[in-house]
Homo-oligomer: A and B are copies of this chain.
């Protein structure tokens, strides 16, 4: 869990040596700390005349008390914040390929002024809202721009892209706040396609001011694999954000599971999620303890690595059963029309993986299961939307856990450095992303896969 190289590189001597040798120099990441939150810093909102969501973005940001300065000129003006915390570009006004120069003209002179651990957020128009070929081409170009810029910036800065429908820009509120906050420190180079919120407006909770956030208050969250590691951190973070948590893990992890449940003031359920009656037992337990179930986090997962030729049937079947089939069966139960569990605002978050996106040698079983979870959220999203619910996945990259600690040195070092932030993520990074997707305010994000990987080089 300790990245000794990063510690060394952060010392005066280490900084000197790594710079001289051209070695990776992992920046300090400013992660969200509820006890000691960093001031959000002023927002510089760059926009063009024809942009469609600038007003909404301004309102979303200003509501949290953040000073927002709007700029439209290529030349920075003296009244602009000198060291903005975030640089947001409303690119929805770009409807021709020729207008892409706006990206260069507005951001080029300003990216260097971004403070350490700053945020760049590009906001575009969804393909379905593009009325001309030029608009569709230009808007799709933003992905290449975002990913390239995310690989350039230093000092722990991140760059992300969201496509926001002009009809419903406020649907982006929780997403904008997450992506400009320190909670998304390990999320970079990513694209999210927002849709109109799946939640009917009459049940939409009032948007709370950013400083008083307990976004999961009054929700009941279930987390599988919660005894230890990332699952335990997800349970803790959900509780921090106000959720009542049902923690699930296999019986032989019972002692650790009880610890987690106690720590989060929640309930524990010892259960093998691959059992036939697991979906029923989860619903029954949630209803028994809390009267409902709002958020389902499919975090439990196992690995049984072997090349396909050497893999036993048991190794294949165990990974598929735990990682994919159990999550699928539980989710099907939650949206069963004869006795639906998830209501409006319901949230399912699956833990996929970079291996599910890019594949990994020795992990045909694991990669198959994690790709299947992407299929699950894609295929189920329309059904979820009909219920006012969402189903999404996260795809962690290299996360510092006891499992990665046990890797051979060179494999571990390669995994840690092969991303734009030159370091591994933490379980907290994953948990923050899960809780953002679990937020009742995140109804505009559905059927999406969010990588939490520091923009890992690895992909498909």
Q: Which residues of A contact B (CB under 8 A)?
A: 97-98, 100-101, 103-105, 107-109, 111-112, 127, 130, 133-134, 136-152, 189, 307-309, 311, 313, 316-317, 320, 324-325, 328, 332, 355-372, 374-376, 378-380, 457-460
Task: Please tell me if the beta carbons of A376 and B137 are within 8 angstroms of each other in the complex.
Answer: yes
Q: Which residue of B lies closest to A458 (CB)?
A: B457
Query: Within the complex, what minimum Cβ distance (angstroms) separates A98 from chain B?
Result: 7
B residues in contact with A317, CB < 8 Å: 101
> Could you give 12 example pairs across A and B, Cβ below 8 Å?
A97-B324, A97-B325, A104-B365, A112-B309, A137-B328, A137-B372, A141-B369, A144-B356, A144-B357, A148-B359, A152-B308, A457-B457
Task: Please tell me if the beta carbons of A104 and B311 are within 8 angstroms of each other in the complex.
Answer: yes
Query: Within the complex, what minimum Cβ distance (angstroms) separates A116 from chain B?
Result: 16
- Option from B98, B150, B325, B368 in Cβ contact (under 8 Å) with A325: B98
B residues in contact with A309, CB < 8 Å: 108-109, 111-112
Query: Within the complex, what minimum Cβ distance (angstroms) separates A24 from chain B?
Result: 13
Query: Within the complex, what minimum Cβ distance (angstroms) separates A83 from chain B?
Result: 15
Task: Please tell me if the beta carbons of B101 and A367 are within 8 angstroms of each other in the complex.
Answer: no
Task: Please tell me if the beta carbons of B133 and A380 are within 8 angstroms of each other in the complex.
Answer: yes
B residues in contact with A150, CB < 8 Å: 359
Oligomeric state, in copies: 2
- Option from B138, B140, B149, B375 in Cβ contact (under 8 Å) with A364: B149
Query: Within the complex, what minimum Cβ distance (angstroms) separates A103 from chain B?
Result: 7
Complex: how many Å from CA A369 to CA B397? Answer: 27
B residues in contact with A142, CB < 8 Å: 368, 371
- Of A189, A332, A368, which is in contact with the most chain B CB atoms at under 10 Å from its CB? A368
Complex: how many Å from CA A413 to CA B365? Answer: 31
Task: Please tell me if the beta carbons of B364 and A148 are within 8 angstroms of each other in the complex.
Answer: yes
- Option from B103, B140, B367, B374 in Cβ contact (under 8 Å) with A148: B367
B residues in contact with A152, CB < 8 Å: 307-308, 361-362, 364
Task: Please tell me if the beta carbons of A379 and B136 are within 8 angstroms of each other in the complex.
Answer: yes
- Option from B140, B189, B308 in Cβ contact (under 8 Å) with A375: B140
A-B pairs, 5 with minimum CB distance: A140-B375, A147-B359, A144-B371, A459-B459, A148-B367
Complex: how many Å from CA A127 to CA B364? Answer: 21
Task: Please tell me if the beta carbons of A108 and B308 are within 8 angstroms of each other in the complex.
Answer: yes
Query: Within the complex, what minimum Cβ distance (angstroms) separates A350 from chain B?
Result: 11
Q: Which residue of B lies closest to A325 (CB)?
A: B97
Q: Which residue of B lies closest to A352 (CB)?
A: B144
Complex: how many Å from CA A364 to CA B143? Answer: 10
Task: Please tell me if the beta carbons of A133 and B328 are within 8 angstroms of each other in the complex.
Answer: yes
Task: Please tell me if the beta carbons of B136 and A378 are within 8 angstroms of each other in the complex.
Answer: yes
B residues in contact with A140, CB < 8 Å: 371-372, 374-376, 378-379
Complex: how many Å from CA A140 to CA B368? Answer: 9
Task: Please tell me if the beta carbons of A372 and B130 are within 8 angstroms of each other in the complex.
Answer: no
